[in-house]
Structure 1
Amino acid sequence: METSSSSEQLLYGPEDPSLLNLQKHHISHKLMKEGTTQVFKVRRTESKTWDVEIHENVRYWLDVFGFKGVIDCGKPMKVDNELITALIERWRPETHTFHLPIGETTITLEDVQAIWGLRADGRVFTGRDYHDNFSDWTSKCRDLLGWIPDTSTETKQGGLLMTALINQTRMPLGDDLPMYVYIQRARIHALILLGGLILPDTTGCKVPFMWLNGLGDPEEVKNISWGSAALAYLYHYLCEASMDKRKELGGPMMLLQLWAWERMPTLRPAFIGPVVHEPYTPCGARWKGTTQIGNAPRHSVEHYRDQISLIRPGQFIWTPYAHCILPDYCNDVTGCSLCETYLVCWAYVEAHEPGRG
């Protein structure tokens, strides 16, 4: 798909509509007709939890569960809604790829593992969706989280409020408590990371009760493929947004933003200080710090649209992690990131075709 400069409308749609057969419903069709599209708003609500000190025994279990990479990356920077919007205009649900001037590309399991250290291999994150009544969920919260939520102030529409979960993490823990207490607290932190950063929905304020069913047995939790769950969620929301079915976005859009910065230097913001990858940390950790995101007039959908349209072969980094010294949990030792398969996260099932990227 080719584009014009920001002062003009998109001039061309797909050259061959036999494959990209959803063009009439695609957001780019609206862009070509009207010359503009809305700026999507990304939901992300985990930021306050980074101000809470995590007990070392809780951190141990978070590492066991598979969240060490995300924790090591620390608090992500501001979401760039304008950059995400420009990328969505290039996303094709028919192929699960971005169509760029230099060809097709996509975010894959390799990227998820290298950037956030989320396990690519393992069992899918899925299970039974609901209990017969609300009391079942409250008893499950008691057993798994060590806390019975107040139904009037700490729950909402089939989920736990993020504010309630974050408040629970602020309660200090001693050093000589039974191990199950630290596991319960680790589950609370895991739910915050899932609901606020890795698998956020469009509400931006709650975590589904059903995810408790996937966090029961620690021995099973440590084998969950969080990477495939995150990617399934991302693909789902990209597809829906590109088909103009969403006004607000769920899914790990911060992961997409970091992927874009890794791959396309012309889309990176201006940083205060050099961007350096510290050995044995996930690649996402190098994007911490102060940036110039939000400085007008450079920060706009039109700017990013221009930069994407002007990308040439030498300006896209096909192997961004080649020279990075990554920790073991960021390396795909089984080669599963190259598998053409389906990604599953509860009700979402999306095709993973790394050969297109």
Structure 2
Amino acid sequence: MKNYNLRSTDEHLNNLTSWLPNQTVSERLANTGFNIKYFEKLPSVINHCLPLLSALLERYDSRERCFIFNGIKCGFFLEDVYYCTGLPVDGVEVTGVVKSNNDEKEEICRMYLGVSGLLTKGKISLKNLRDRFINAEDTDYYTRAYLLYVIGSFIVPDKTGRSVDVMFLEQLKDIDKTGTFAWGAALLAHLHVELETASESSLAGHSYSLMIWAFLHIPKLLKLLPNTGRKGPDEFPLLVQWTNWLSLDLKNNFHKNLKSKFSDILDNLKDEDIVWQPYKNLQNLPNDHPQHRENFLCRTVLICYNEVVYHRPDLCPKQYGIDKPEYSGVRKEIAIYKKQRKLSGEIDWSKYTSEKGKVDYSKYIQEWKHRSESLLKEALGVEEHSGPTLSSTPSSIGNVRYDCSNTHFEDDEPEVEPLQPPPSEDATPRTQADASPKTPDDGHGSGGEEITWNTFYLAFSGQAHHSTG
């Protein structure tokens, strides 16, 4: 097991309170599905519980995309992203064209932001975005700049935590259509890749909701915090109230043994210690909730430009109230390849095919488009999932990982195991020692600067901040 002692995250949720959009922009974003009003409710200072995130990282299975606690599999899925953040998990995949030439990137900035000179090492500085546009008069330019700022600060922060990729302007060309994208799915794809490639001291991606997920599903963890010996908030989206509720507890003065105490709880966890369905009584759900709920149980690919991982709710059916899942009606998994290779020039990730034809990104796009055909069959009595449910046959799947600036590509034989149903309840539990180890650094970790792939956040509802533990 790799040892993690996180000293920071690259998720700067506090940035969002330093730039709240004007009323005109807020109203326009509300019409597209963006709920900027939540930002006004955020506390002025937000910190992560770094000892808990460190303990979670050590128990993350990068092959099955879930956490294993004392042989028990638990997953952070589309359902959790939706209820915590309010992001849509249904819609058009977040992908498109990536430019490698800085002159071309500058031209994109001039076209959609009305200015140039924003780039620093091929990316747009978050500070420059705020300083240049916070008083901008053109509503379109202001709105795009603000949304890019949110992406880089919270939705898919890169490893520097200070910049955002130009490529997301493609999703912002038509501001009125930005709400049609599955930003929650893109966020989750990016987070899974960052969980796999995190350094020993820093984690990128949106991890605050992961922390909320752990507290909700394993209430024993909350008992280790000084002031939270009570039930947590239950109003949608959870991120807003939880950032306020935990603000007094998540300061930087954690006891040095707090990580070991979290680890002890996780390593001795029993089934009865877990709240498998913590969202049953969630309040203030939006009207479009049923539309997104249908995607909770899809076993499909999650896409954020070059990043592709599998969504595996089939591994944790209890999280959906399914005691006896059926695995007969799901489409066979497609292979996702793993090997580093460099590409150059302009790349359209929605159409990319490798020279030898091993990798065809259009297959990933089609897999997402047909996600409703990979659903776990609905179990009786699961009232909160009245939509279709997911039927799947699990196997181990890798991920696709690229570096946008150097455009690394993984193109090797797929690591796909024979399709087998998960073990029965009376089978020998899988221990943490049996879990697939985290993939060793293959050039995507701490070596060299890396452009991470931002995902979009629709109903913005929380932020996180660098903190030490």
Matches within 5 A, 1:285-300: 285-289=240-244, 290-293=247-250, 294-297=252-255, 300=258
Contact in 2 for aligned 1:62/1:190 (Cα 8 Å): no
Q: Distance in 2 between matches of 1:331 and 1:102?
A: 33
Structure 1 residues 265, 273: closer, same or farther in 2, change over 3 A?
closer
Q: Distance in 1 between matches of 2:31 and 2:269?
A: 41
CA displacement at 1:187 relative to structure 2: 1.7
Contact in 2 for aligned 1:118/1:330 (Cα 8 Å): no
Q: Aligned AA for 1:235? A: H
**Partner SS state of residue 98, structure 2:** coil
Work out which of the residue numbers 167, 170, 173 in structure 1 matches 2:131. Answer: 167
CA displacement at 1:172 relative to structure 2: 6.5
Q: Distance in 2 between matches of 1:107 and 1:93?
A: 12
Structure 1 residues 323, 46: closer, same or farther in 2, change over 3 A?
closer
User: For each residue in 1:175-202, what CA deviation from the matched residue of structure 2 results, as whole angstroms up to 9, or x when unmatched?
Assistant: xxxxxx3332222221112111111111
Work out which of the residue numbers 237, 241, 254 in structure 2 matches 1:282. Answer: 237
In the alignment, which residue of structure 1 is the partner of 2:160? 203
Contact in 1 for aligned 2:15/2:153 (Cα 8 Å): no
Q: Distance in 2 between matches of 1:273 and 1:321?
A: 19
Contact in 2 for aligned 1:102/1:312 (Cα 8 Å): no
Work out which of the residue numbers 235, 257, 260 in structure 1 matches 2:214. Answer: 260
Matches within 5 A, 1:5-16: none
Structure 1 residues 306, 298: closer, same or farther in 2, change over 3 A?
farther
CA displacement at 1:332 relative to structure 2: 4.2
- Pairwise CA RMSD of aligned residues? 2.7
Q: Distance in 1 between matches of 2:197 and 2:287?
A: 31
Contact in 1 for aligned 2:55/2:262 (Cα 8 Å): yes
Q: Distance in 1 between matches of 2:49 and 2:282?
A: 25
Contact in 2 for aligned 1:282/1:330 (Cα 8 Å): no
CA displacement at 1:257 relative to structure 2: 1.4
In the alignment, which residue of structure 1 is the partner of 2:331? none
CA displacement at 1:265 relative to structure 2: 1.8
Matches within 5 A, 1:196-275: 196-241=153-198, 247-268=201-222, 269-271=225-227
User: For each residue in 1:134-155, what CA deviation from the matched residue of structure 2 results, as whole angstroms up to 9, or x when unmatched?
Assistant: 3333332233224x243xxx42
CA displacement at 1:246 relative to structure 2: 6.2
In the alignment, which residue of structure 1 is the partner of 2:119? 155
Contact in 1 for aligned 2:14/2:46 (Cα 8 Å): no
Structure 1 residues 246, 347: closer, same or farther in 2, change over 3 A?
farther
Does residue 143 in structure 1 map to residue 123 in structure 2?
Answer: no
Matches within 5 A, 1:19-58: 28=1, 30=2, 36-39=3-6, 41-58=8-25
Q: Aligned AA for 1:230? A: L
- Structure 2 gaps of 5+ residues are 317-469
User: For each residue in 1:59-108, what CA deviation from the matched residue of structure 2 results, as whole angstroms up to 9, or x when unmatched?
Assistant: 12333444427647635720222211110111001111100136101111
CA displacement at 1:308 relative to structure 2: 1.5
Output the TM-score relative to the length of structure 2: 0.60
In the alignment, which residue of structure 1 is the partner of 2:68? 99
Work out which of the residue numbers 79, 84, 87 in structure 2 matches 1:110. Answer: 79
Q: Distance in 1 between matches of 2:314 and 2:254?
A: 38
Aligned residues: 308
- Structure 1 gaps of 5+ residues are 1-27, 31-35, 174-180
Q: Aligned AA for 1:171? A: N
Q: Distance in 1 between matches of 2:141 and 2:288?
A: 26
Contact in 2 for aligned 1:73/1:285 (Cα 8 Å): yes
Does residue 313 in structure 1 map to residue 271 in structure 2?
Answer: yes
CA displacement at 1:315 relative to structure 2: 2.6
Q: Aligned AA for 2:73? A: E
Q: Aligned AA for 1:284? A: L
Q: Distance in 2 between matches of 1:263 and 1:332?
A: 22
CA displacement at 1:322 relative to structure 2: 0.5
**Partner SS state of residue 288, structure 1:** helix
**Partner SS state of residue 192, structure 2:** helix
Once structures 1 and 2 are overlaid, which stretch shifts more, 65-74 or 52-61? Answer: 65-74
Q: Aligned AA for 2:240? A: A
Q: Aligned AA for 1:56? A: Q
Q: Distance in 2 between matches of 1:272 and 1:103?
A: 25
User: For each residue in 1:305-353, what CA deviation from the matched residue of structure 2 results, as whole angstroms up to 9, or x when unmatched?
Assistant: 1121233333321111100123326724251111000000011000001
CA displacement at 1:247 relative to structure 2: 4.9
Once structures 1 and 2 are overlaid, which stretch shifts more, 267-276 or 194-203? Answer: 267-276
**Partner SS state of residue 99, structure 2:** coil
In the alignment, which residue of structure 2 is the partner of 1:81? 50
Q: Distance in 2 between matches of 1:66 and 1:339?
A: 23
Q: Distance in 2 between matches of 1:98 and 1:114?
A: 19
In the alignment, which residue of structure 1 is the partner of 2:304? 345
In the alignment, which residue of structure 2 is the partner of 1:6? none
Output the TM-score relative to the length of structure 1: 0.77
Contact in 2 for aligned 1:199/1:233 (Cα 8 Å): yes
In the alignment, which residue of structure 2 is the partner of 1:5? none
Q: Distance in 2 between matches of 1:299 and 1:142?
A: 51
Structure 1 residues 324, 49: closer, same or farther in 2, change over 3 A?
closer
Contact in 2 for aligned 1:277/1:285 (Cα 8 Å): no
CA displacement at 1:276 relative to structure 2: 5.6
Once structures 1 and 2 are overlaid, which stretch shifts more, 328-337 or 268-277? Answer: 268-277
Contact in 1 for aligned 2:6/2:200 (Cα 8 Å): no
Contact in 1 for aligned 2:4/2:200 (Cα 8 Å): no
**Partner SS state of residue 98, structure 1:** strand
Q: Aligned AA for 1:157? A: K
Percentage identity across aligned positions? 23
**Partner SS state of residue 140, structure 1:** helix
Q: Aligned AA for 1:57? A: T
